[in-house]
Amino acid sequence: MKEIILLKYGEMVLKGLNRGYFDNLLLKRVRNLLKEVDGRFTLDYSQSTLCIRGDDNADFYKAFSQMKKVFGVATVCRGVECEKNMDAIKRSLLENGADFLQGAKTFKCVARRSDKSFPLTSPQICAECGDIILESFDGVSVNVINPDVSVTIEIRDKSAFLHGGGEKGAGGMPVGSNGNALLLLSGGIDSPVAGYMAAKRGVALDAVYFESPPYTSEAAREKVISLARKLSEYSGRIYLHCVSVTEIQQTMTGLCEIRLFTLLLRRFMVRIAERIANEIGASALVTGESIGQVASQTIMSIAVTNSVAGIPIFRPCIGLDKEEIVVRARSIGTFDISGLPYEDCCTVFTPKHPNTRPTEDLLVEEEKKLDVEGLVERALKSRKHIKIG
């Protein structure tokens, strides 16, 4: 009997002839995460399940936690592998039943036979295993409709897998299966969530952070680095590009209408981000905007921001309210980092009464007062990048 971790694939099982491409990306991500875990692991894939085996030094607890961060995996199960006969299966249930039940009051047995030559049918396997559990563990009863735990017995080609039903995985698609994008990452709550949601759909991410030294501090940059590091736990390696927009903001002061400062800055950010995206081979930008959440996120404001972009801008949070975004931020571990009290460049020079119904003509007229291309070029020269993950 050996301890194992089983990864059950999600929607990628429907990918038909392209399936191998998705499998390889997922396996690469799993191997990279297992490099951070003590012990040596081997991978064996069959029938939409990846089986992870480890040596005597393998830290299965950490490996299990890491596997819940793999996009493309629907369920992560920690279980055991034994010989493919009922005596071995029953012994394994006796030795591991308490772990599978984990204090549950009700259970049901689920049997899956990929090896149809196994002498017992699935209902017969369930009946015998259910009897063993009822006889050996006090305080549990059968509930086939809504059990606390589903004790699962999988009869495979070479062995049997037993587990307690597992935990929900990250879902989505393997990172990199749907191209590359550049995330506009601030220190706020929304943009890390947007990055996570894009990565969940298979998008590989890099990020750009706009700062305004000396108005924003090194601590503010470190906060964003921490957010990128947390995101990289799910998405893999991220290159964070740090760009100063101080000159842009200072130049607008005294020349441009203050009510348009935020929108003008957003248009500069999109121009700069697109230049970086083109350079690194990213096909889209990702932002954390949600309709109506702040003045720069009205439909009209988003429209005038979009108009300077030559590549798509994805906004995964666009229809979420703040509480929904907060819940997601908490679940991925970015909320407390975002709450650290450091200035963001978008809060510097922020007008008290911003224009919420801007027009393209109005913004174009304001930009005629500025050397837009020169400001973009000089901002790009300030760029520094940091490899994270």
Among residues 106, 141, 168, the one where a domain terminates is 168
Q: Tell whether 184 and 162 lie within a shared domain.
A: no
- Is 35 found in the same domain as 151? yes
Query: Could you report the per-residue pLDDT of 196-217, keeping only the tens digit for each?
Result: 999 999 999 999 999 999 989 9
224: CB partners within 8 A, 6+ apart? 185, 186, 187, 209, 240, 242
Determine the pLDDT at residue 210.
96
Selected residue with higher pLDDT from 297 and 310: 310
> Where residue 93 sits, what CATH number does that domain have?
3.30.2130.30
Residue 352 has pLDDT above 80, yes or no: no
Phi and psi (nearest 5°) for 147?
A: -75, 155
Let me know whether 299 and 156 are in one domain. no
- Say yes or no to pLDDT of 14 above 80: no
> In this structure, are 86 and 116 located in the same domain?
yes
> Average pLDDT, whole number, for the chain?
93
101 falls within a domain: yes
What letter does residue 201 receive in the DSSP assignment? B
Q: Are residues 149 and 199 in the same domain?
A: no
What is the per-residue pLDDT across 276-296, written as a single tens digit (0 to 9) for each? 999 999 999 999 999 988 877
Evaluate whether residue 293 is within a structural domain: yes
Domain membership flag for residue 173: no
Same structural domain, 118 and 155: yes
CATH number at residue 214: 3.40.50.620
Domain endpoint, select from 123, 148, 168: 168
Residue 175 lies in a domain: no
Asked if 317 and 189 count as a contact pair (C-beta separation under 8 A), the reply is no
Number of domains in the chain: 2
- Co-location of 45 and 153 in the same domain: yes
Shared-domain flag, residues 24 and 158: yes
In a domain, 174, yes or no: no
Q: What is the pLDDT of residue 63?
A: 97
H or E stretch at 202 = none
pTM of the shown model:
0.92
- The stretch 336-365 carries a mean pLDDT of 80
Same domain (yes/no): 155, 189: no
pLDDT in tens, 181-198: 999 999 999 999 999 999
Residues 79 and 224 in one domain: no
Q: Which domain holds residue 194?
A: 180-388
pLDDT tens figures, 124-178: 999 999 999 999 999 999 999 999 999 999 999 899 999 998 999 999 999 999 9
> What's the whole-number mean pLDDT along residues 213-240?
95
> Beta strand 2-9 with 73-82: parallel, antiparallel or unpaired?
antiparallel
Asked if 299 and 324 sit in the same domain, the reply is yes
Task: Confirm whether 153 is domain-assigned.
Answer: yes
306 is a domain residue: yes
Domain's final residue, options 168, 202, 231: 168
Note whether 202 and 71 are within 8 A (CB).
Answer: yes
**Residue 137, CA atoms < 13 Å, CB-side half-sphere:** 24
Nearest CA among 130, 135, 131 for reference residue 149 = 130
Q: How many other CB atoms are there within 10 angstroms of residue 362's CB atom?
A: 16
Q: Is residue 315 part of a domain?
A: yes
298-335: pLDDT as tens digits:
999 999 999 999 999 999 999 999 999 999 999 999 99
Residues 50 and 75 in one domain: yes
